Amino acid sequence: MNSEFIWPIRVYYEDTDAGGVVYYANYLKFYERARSEWLNALNIDQLLLLSEKVAFVVRKAEIDYIKPARLNDSLQIITRIKRLKAVSIDFEQQISIIKSGFEPELINKVKIKVACLNIESFIPCRIPIQVKEELQRVS
């Protein structure tokens, strides 16, 4: 595993608006899926964390819509950790269109701050040590 995680997706009809382009809010869903898949690839079990009353929640998102994605486009999402703190993680993510024979074309990027919370009190808590160590290893 290296400092970035690449996750491929395809745009389906359900992702688009009446104009056949990806509905703006769905980019956030794509980013969420990529972060979840990265945790899965690192063997970080979110169900186990939930059973321990710990969850990661988005605290802040700053998104830049550069170009639209369209129905059936092949995309790749790149996820990187920018900063890892005691109770939060700053991510940088980007989406590019993949076309055969061409370089990936950047169409969207985001800065996401994720906080670690106790799900009973909704108070920030420290990232579990085994999770933090694994994230430090790949960032």
Catalytic residues, by residue number, are 17
Please state the separation of Cα 41 from the chain's center in Å: 13
Question: Phi-psi region for residue 14, left (φ > 0), alpha (ψ -120 to 50) or beta?
Answer: alpha
Q: Alpha helix (H) ranges present in 17-128? A: 26-41, 46-51
Please state the separation of Cα 114 from the chain's center in Å: 10
Q: What is the DSSP letter of 101?
A: T
Q: Exposure of 5 by Cβ count < 10 A (0-12 exposed, 13-18 middle, 19+ buried)?
A: buried
Classify 114 as helix, strand or coil.
strand
